[in-house]
Structure 1
Amino acid sequence: MNIEEQSVVEVELDSLNSAGSPRLSGESPEHVHVLAAAQSPLPPIVVHRATMKVIDGFHRVKAARLRGAETIEARFFDGDEAEAFVLAVRLNVRHGLPLALADRKRAAERIIASHPQWSDRRVATVTGVSPGTVGDIRKRTVPGRTPESRRVGQDGRVRPLDGSAGRMLAGELLAANPGLSLRQVARAAGISPETARDVRNRLHNGDDLVPRQCRRKTPAVLVAAREDFTEELLARRPELVAQGPSQRSGRSRTDIAPDRAMLVKRLKADPALRFTETGRNLLRLLALHTLRKEEWDAIINNVPPHCTDIVADLARQFADLWSEFAVRIKDDVAQIG
């Protein structure tokens, strides 16, 4: 809503409510006297229609009273009180007597409370403080609060607070259906097409889907954010996840079953494995067995004859260890269930 487009009307000064100013120390008497002494008409004030609270123009109201006026020109705002406060801060930061730094920080604290989904940069734009200061205020005022997985930016678009969840979901989609376009993956996972491209390249190279410098959240938070994205994906694009991998890619089940490399890559995208030492050890062990058939054949054909007995015996021992491993993890899951 552009307040400048609203029509100007005359309102009685006695009908106005002056409570709720974003200025902690109140209005400046010097500024009021300067406005009162000026010969030019006072610019229209902004008033919250539902409560008649002055949103912008506290000094002008007092100056009008000093002039002996009974009415003042005003434009009405029809949003709720939280929106009215945001508008009051935005207008008082941009023109007139600027808000003091303490006023702007207090305003940021109040807007964080009323609009927790807003990004630090969006709050900073309204209040005239830096995004870093807004972030510090958020940490101080809501220390025990579970962080939101997404926030609304200045342009009104919803973005993930941590892109890790979107990257992991994109990795799952690409692994299950390599034929998806980057734009489809980006839209479904809530990331940019360029990020989707990076995920595809990392998946192809067997690298971690989330760059080390982007890992800012604990595994628990990443899992929660990933679940949020998956729920949204189910609602928006059920055809991408409701079908099985063989249906999505057009390949038969027998073609997909031996694709161990793809399965290991999907496991690499799971934070429960990547962010623990035992999980990383397991991923390294599994990665050793993702060689293609022709690569295994090449190894077998090049085992020196004098080593075949030892290698074969070790292979059987390792196979027994993996078999025991498979049985034990199944039993542990059954006991937990």
Structure 2
Amino acid sequence: MSEVTEIPISEIQVAGSLRTKGEDPRHIDALAEVWRSLPPVVIHRQTMAVIDGVHRLRALERSGVTRVKAVFFDGDDREAFVLAVKLNAGHGLPLSLADRKAAARRMLADFPEWSNRRLAEATGLSDKTVGTLRSRAEIPHPASVRLGRDGVAYPVAAAEGRSRSLAFLTVNPGASAREVALASGVSLTTAKDVIRQVRAAVQEQQAPDARAGGGTVTERPKERPGAEELAHAVRRLRADPSLRFTEVGRKLLCMLGGSAAQPQDDWAEMASSLPIHCAPVIAELARHHAESWQLLAESLTERLNAGHAEE
């Protein structure tokens, strides 16, 4: 954006609004009381339309001001809209949830290649909400890549293919690279890479065996990790690219985040503090989630055992 300059209010256009309820008279009244200290408005140079600062502009008009401090933005209409949403979602009179969702739907049409996180950052929504809006949006030509917040293009098809490969390997841990490629619709090279990543992750997380001199394995009982150790393990998993950049991995990380390890004393305190009329339903939900996690643990253990047998 340009440096601050002064322009006649008569040259500025107010076209449309991001807010379904329009301008807020009470907010204008409040700004009019401090009109001398208001920050500059942001103007789209190409159209002279207000990008950010309509309420400030109205407050200055009410105060009899004819010229206003402004900064110019150079870009097309789509970029100007994105900037307007970013600025209005984060300061002054924030956009409502409905307004931010409406803005996200328009951005999905204008920038289908943007990742959910990049759109979430622009609209002040969560990436999950953007993902839900994307699944319901009618995008005639979905992008084959997603541009992340770092500006890097990530192939959508490649990520989905890796997710299918991981899901297939979960059920068929002993599958060959060719079988994975055929079942998941990915190249043989990608299948080999996924298998290599999975095996590397397994080896990294396995504790070294304590072996006796005669080649026999002496297994020592494993101590259950504490809450702090488990929290550290979750942080390590969140940093693993093979989880962060795949649909299955992200789903698992989300589940881990929602069920962070708690010390036993915390669970006992929670149980004693929850309303008694909710206890039956919460207990049943806890049992259901415990059974689900137990099933995942058993499936992963079977994979580990199968890997040892092959070796």
Matches within 5 A, 1:145-164: 145=140, 147-162=142-157, 163-164=159-160
Stretches of structure 1 that go unaligned for 5 or more consecutive residues are 176-184, 186-194, 203-209, 217-337
Distance 1:39 1:135, change over 3 A: closer
Distance 1:125 1:213, change over 3 A: closer
CA contact 1:171–1:200 (8 Å) conserved in 2: no
Identity %: 44
Distance 2:100 2:106 in 1: 10
- How does the TM-score come out when normalised to structure 1? 0.49
Distance 1:137 1:71 in 2: 41
Q: Which residue of 1 aligns with 2:32?
A: 36
Q: Which residue of 2 aligns with 1:138?
A: 134
Matches within 5 A, 1:1-337: 3=1, 6-38=2-34, 40-142=36-138, 145=140, 147-162=142-157, 163-165=159-161, 171-172=188-189, 197-198=196-197, 214=248
SS of 1:40 mapped into structure 2: helix
The total of aligned residue pairs comes to 186
User: What is the deviation of 1:30?
Assistant: 0.4
CA contact 2:41–2:71 (8 Å) conserved in 1: yes
SS of 2:36 mapped into structure 1: coil
Distance 1:113 1:39 in 2: 37
Runs ≥4 residues deviating over 2 A: 145-149, 164-175, 199-202, 210-216
SS of 2:37 mapped into structure 1: coil
Distance 1:56 1:16 in 2: 12
Distance 2:110 2:11 in 1: 27
- How does the TM-score come out when normalised to structure 2? 0.53
Distance 1:153 1:38, change over 3 A: same
Distance 2:106 2:54 in 1: 19
Deviations 1:165-205 (A, max 9, x none): 46766742796xxxxxxxxx8xxxxxxxxx68416869xxx
2:151 alignment partner AA? G
CA RMSD of aligned residues (A): 3.1
Stretches of structure 2 that go unaligned for 5 or more consecutive residues are 166-180, 202-241, 251-311
Between stretches 123-132 and 42-51, larger displacement belongs to 123-132
CA contact 2:35–2:63 (8 Å) conserved in 1: no
Distance 1:215 1:124, change over 3 A: closer
Q: Which residue of 2 aligns with 1:206?
A: none
1:31 alignment partner AA? H
Deviations 1:15-36 (A, max 9, x none): 1111132112111100101111
Distance 1:56 1:49 in 2: 13
Deviations 1:88-108 (A, max 9, x none): 000011111111111111111
Deviations 1:195-244 (A, max 9, x none): 68416869xxxxxxx9997499xxxxxxxxxxxxxxxxxxxxxxxxxxxx
Distance 1:215 1:126 in 2: 25
2:197 alignment partner AA? D
Deviations 1:276-324 (A, max 9, x none): xxxxxxxxxxxxxxxxxxxxxxxxxxxxxxxxxxxxxxxxxxxxxxxxx
Distance 2:124 2:247 in 1: 29
Deviations 1:39-98 (A, max 9, x none): 632210100000001000000110010010111000000010000000000001111111
